[in-house]
């Protein structure tokens, strides 16, 4: 008897859940202001990381570590701008390709790992080691990461129709 009551109860719940109206949750779309802010902030932050990579070969000790930490913090913050633009342009084939590039091993995370290495090992690195790490980071960043960011910035410019064509600032030692 108890099992038939439980079975009836479960069947009743199943029928209620199928008959209950489904709530549609809409994610708010970013405004033009949000897109412009994300575009400008990402371009500015990319420039700051590029400035660090341009200056790093001439830095050492605590200066290298401090500036690397600032660059790493800025770099990690770029994901917030990417998220805003992904929400608006996620269906754009160029942005989809750029997102796939940034998700690939050896690109965005590789750069983050290299910047992190400067923060943990930079104080003890000699100039040759700094030059090698900068070169490795720039190889991935200049070849893959920055062109992918360019695709996002281009999509934002087209959306904003502001006549600007932003590109990610390259470090002086971009290869």
Q: How far apart are alpha carbons 53 and 42 in whole angstroms?
A: 17
CB atoms within 10 A of CB 164: 13
Q: Tell me the pTM.
A: 0.81
Q: How far apart are alpha carbons 103 and 44 in whole angstroms?
A: 21
Domain ranges across the chain? 32-160
pLDDT per position as a tens digit, 106-159: 999 999 999 999 999 999 999 999 999 999 999 999 999 999 999 999 999 999
| Residue 117: its H or E element | helix 108-121
């Amino acid at each position: 008897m108890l099992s038939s009551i439980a079975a009836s109860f479960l069947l009743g719940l199943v029928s209620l859940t199928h008959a209950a109206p489904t709530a549609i949750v809409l994610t708010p779309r970013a405004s033009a202001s949000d897109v412009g802010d994300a575009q400008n902030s990402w371009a500015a932050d990319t420039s700051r990381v590029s400035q660090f990579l341009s200056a790093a070969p001439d830095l050492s000790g605590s200066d290298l570590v401090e500036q690397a930490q600032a660059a790493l913090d800025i770099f990690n913050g770029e994901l917030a701008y990417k998220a805003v633009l992904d929400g608006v342009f996620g269906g754009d084939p160029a942005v989809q390709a750029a997102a796939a590039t940034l998700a690939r091993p050896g690109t965005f995370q590789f750069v983050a790992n290299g910047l992190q290495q400067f923060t943990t090992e930079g104080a003890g690195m000699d100039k040759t080691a700094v030059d090698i790490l900068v070169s490795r980071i720039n190889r991935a960043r200049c070849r893959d990461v920055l062109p992918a960011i360019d695709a996002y910035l281009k999509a934002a410019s087209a959306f904003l129709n502001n006549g600007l064509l932003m590109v990610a600032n390259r470090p002086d030692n971009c290869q």
